[in-house]
Structures are given as C-alpha cells and as structure tokens.
Structure 1
Amino acid sequence: MTLDPATLATILGMMAATVFTRFSGAFLVRRLKLGAGAEKALATVPPAVLMAVVAPTAFATGWPETIGCVIVVVAALRLSLLPAAALGVVSVALLRAAGL
C-alpha cells in the first residue's frame, strides 16, 4: 500500500483544523461569561447533532436500525449522548442477530 503525499497532507490538515477548533472553543467558553439564553442554546446543540446523525439512518434502512434509532432517542432523554449511542449500537447488533 502506498500513501500519496497530498492525501497525507490533507488528512493532517483536517486533523489540525479539528484540534484547533476544539481547543479554541474550549478556551473561549472558559473565558466568556455566557448569559442564560446562550447557555440554554448551547445545551440544545448535542441533541440536535444526535438527531441529525440518527434521523437519516432511521428513515433509510431496515427495521433493526429504525428500532435502534428510537432506542437512542429515548435513551438520550435520560443518559448522556455516548451511552445512548452505545445502547443504540448494541440494540441494532442484537436485533440483526435475532434476524429481525
């Protein structure tokens, strides 16, 4: 397998951009005093991102994936996003194994 230098440079550039935006965002949030409205708006971002990722899968695939997406949405009401997503992955795997 060969690695094209342009591809490697692109991957490293995207990595640097991702790390920069994450660290700068964390740095700015610590330094800024946010109002109640801004904090409330920022709290809605993770569920919105989750729905943007889950919804196409729920409508474009089979029953195991659709049921798994519903499980993720319900679990996300009580759990943080990572455990909810993990629960969805496990449920899809079990439903597929069951032959649904």
Structure 2
Amino acid sequence: MQKINNTQYFKVQKETEVVVSEIIRIVYSALTEKGYNPVNQIVGYVMSGDPTYITSHKGARSLIMKVERDEIIEELLRFYIDKNINQNSSKP
C-alpha cells in the first residue's frame, strides 16, 4: 500500500498535433482512390457538416472530423492566398 503523504505524479499524454494540411491531403487521396470528385466531396462536407460526404477509406472520415470545418476553410484560403495573391504581388 502507498503512503498517503507522498504526492502522486500523473502525466497526461498529449494527442499528436493535428496538421490540417496533412488531413486534407489524406482525405483528398482517399476520395480520389475511391473514384469520387474530391473537391466536390470536401465542399459538401464543409458546407453541410455531414461526414457522409467523406469516404471512410483509409480512415479519411475519422481524420477530417478531428478538425473543425472553419480550420479547413482557413487552411485552404491561406494556401490559395499564398499561391495566387502573395506570389503575384511580388512579380514586377
């Protein structure tokens, strides 16, 4: 039996950080492999919140539900701006 005067240590394991861009890549790949139009399916999910727009192939549905839909939109918009607006503004 342990002494009640001693402090017990408890360490919570952190969940691995969810990287939104990686989740989008995996979901896109899974949807493509199953023959779906990945852009349409992801838009359907983001607009409705209905996870059935995403295939369960490769755990894609479970993965995409780990992030908020607004985080997906932020990542996609950030990528678009970086590739299309920021690069164009640096051209002479």
TM over 0.5: no
Q: TM-score, normalised by structure 2?
A: 0.30
Q: TM-score, normalised by structure 1?
A: 0.28
The one of the two structures with greater contact order (alpha-carbon pairs below 8 A, sep at least 6) is 2
Q: Which of the two has greater helix per residue?
A: 1
